[in-house]
Amino acid sequence: MPQMSPLVAGDPTQLGSFRLSGRIGEGGQGIVYLGVNESGEQAAVKLLHVKFSGDTVARSRFARELKAAQRVASFCTARVIEADLDGDTPYIASEYIDGRALRDIVESDGPLRGTVLDRLAIGTATALVAIHHASIVHRDLKPDNVLIASDGPRVVDFGIARIIDSTGTITSRAIGTPAYMAPEQIAGDDVGPYTDVFAWGATIAFAATGTSAFDGNSIATVLNKILNHEVDVGMLPEPLRGVVRSALAKSPAERPSADQILLRLLGQPEHAGASTDVLTRGVQVASDDTTPFMRVSPSLAERATTGTGATGHPPHPEAAGLALGETGSGPYSEAGSRPYPGTGSGPYPGTGSGVFQVVAGEPRAVAPARGGRGTRWAVLAGAVALVAAVVAAVVLKGWPVALGDPGPDPTAGTGKPPEVYTSVMDKIGKSGKIVIGVKDDLPGIGLLRDGEFEGFDVDLAKEIAAKLGAAETKFVAVSRANRADKLARGDVDLVVATYSVSGEDVTFAGPYYLAHQDVLVRQGPIDELSDLKGKKICGINSPSVGMVQDKKVEVEPVPAGDYAECMDLLRSGEVDAVPGEDLVLAGFAAREHQRYKILGARLSDERYAVGLRKGDVKTCKAVNGVIADLYRTKAVHRLLERHFGTVEFATESKVPAMNDCG
């Protein structure tokens, strides 16, 4: 954890929902405090120096840039939680990352080498892809804005430089730290994603050498080197050397995109942009700095992405540029026994304790490559290795149980022990299968009809499973009473069933949707909550009835056993409204011939989350990334339209704040 100093006279003690406990640091943009909200969530709260008083144009630009920053998917980035525009000096609260700045690590422990440097490059490139996919340009990427946490590098402060620039108090020419500015920034030309690519190259060069790529005794010297001097990257191994060299090209047109950088570093073809699968793979590689990983030539990767090898069969993981048995975050497979499913760019995590190569059909251990690294990183690597050893020992003793029944055990009758998986991602990597629990009695959400599951939850679960790399998805009906037990026992791998109730053996990714307690009415004169005064409301067992009355709206409850009965009463006019969660109400209303609407009272927030076994951090983070991307690509919006489009109500379309997987 970075050094924190106490608050001083004049410091605020509360900003928005965050109570401030101390100073984390201070820079040219503002003071950063450590804050915590009522739910215990920590944030790095940056109080900006820029004044917005009376500047409506600046506020408008600030809001627009902030909204874009909140769209950034959480791949190796620190998500933006909240911000305030009302004070004279606005603030931004971002996810708190417990880690050290890259600059501090290099200056105290020395340059990075080998696997550590590779994973830094991949993690920061992954973050840039996520940032650029949200139409954000960082503008101030540098070693100070890369934090090294226990789960890998994180890029912070994206978009803040642009927000400051939007006030007009600082010109575009001045945005950025001199030694990491691109030539176009110095010249005052337009900046774009290519500007961040240049800064990325300079940051990686600093990490590899311990000195700035454009060092000098004065700003004039630094700027002159940026404009006219080439950087010596000869100390870097390939492919990193070539990628960094091209990133530092003086002309923006000659630089690769962040997508191309990530694909090259992962050994993937560059026919298209980096998909969610590629981003997930980048996160996985960056989160484990203890094991080398393998790359392949683009020709092999291209063959892997077709789903078949030269023989017409699915490719072996080697053909996807992946290392076998990669500890913690890499893929593992019994050599030749079961080829991986998928596209060659998806996530393939696993449990091996070393690196394996397949020679003549048999796996053989390969000694990990050695490379210099700082003392602190070596300690971290030892800690991770120790955890991996403990996990391996526990697995050998029979825990955890195999997640979600994958079907007949291929080892039955062979004398081999049955497959045991340490995470859902491990299971997907080994078997290509996943079992998901869904509701079977909620129309529009999760309904079993004619032997098939259908609904919003079901279709969303299919999207999540596919992006996690599953080739086969099985659905199992779960109820409120048994879903936690089924998950804890391993009967199902994930639960996507309006699920947000905590349990001892359960954790949550997402939420995949932010629903609300609300009220359903017929199209007509009832337009707001107050119009229900004196009206009849279906008295189903729902907290919404009490919430309506808490709003000082006197209603007459009419007893009913379930939502089907409520809909009968609403259709016949015996009640004027049905209370409940808006998505559930819309599901029942969407199958009616009459037109209905949801008032938009939003009496409470209901976080529909993905349930998974407690401790499966790897899968939780992967699911969070997938959900964020489904919102970014409007896939969630399209599913909402498909299932609830005939009902008038305002669905949530922005990325919800993701649960902490830690």
Measured CA to CA, the distance from residue 94 to residue 156 in angstroms comes to: 8
Closest CA to 130 of 282, 311, 249: 282
Q: Which residues contact 426 (CB under 8 A, 6 or more apart)?
A: 332, 349, 350, 351
Q: Which residues contact 474 (CB under 8 A, 6 or more apart)?
A: 404, 433, 434, 435, 436
Cα 374 to Cα 107, 122, 201, distances in angstroms: 10, 19, 21
Query: Is 215 in the active site?
Result: no
Cβ 106 vs Cβ 208: under 8 Å: no
Measured CA to CA, the distance from residue 273 to residue 226 in angstroms comes to: 29
Torsion sign (Cα): 191, 255, 235, 270:
positive
Helix axes 193-209, 114-133, angle to 10 degrees: 170
> What is 409-468 written as a DSSP string?
-TTTTTTPPPP--SSHHHHHHHHSEEEEEE-SEETTTEEEETTEEESHHHHHHHHHHHHH
Burial class of residue 235 (count of CB atoms within 10 Å of its CB; 0-12, 13-18, 19+): exposed
Q: Report the alpha-carbon angle 141-144-147, nearest 5.
A: 95
Annotated catalytic residue: which of 98, 109, 118, 140? 140
Closest CA to 266 of 470, 471, 126: 126
Ramachandran angles phi, psi of 186, nearest 5°? -65, -40
Measured CA to CA, the distance from residue 597 to residue 595 in angstroms comes to: 7
Q: Is the peptide bond before 331 cis (omega within 30 degrees of 0)?
A: no
Ramachandran angles phi, psi of 339, nearest 5°? -65, 150
Alpha helices of 70-159 — where are they, by DSSP H?
102-109, 114-133
Measured CA to CA, the distance from residue 510 to residue 606 in angstroms comes to: 12
**Region label for 176, one of left (φ > 0), alpha (ψ between -120 and 50) or beta (otherwise):** left
Q: Which residues contact 189 (CB under 8 A, 6 or more apart)?
A: none
Q: Which residues are catalytic?
A: 140
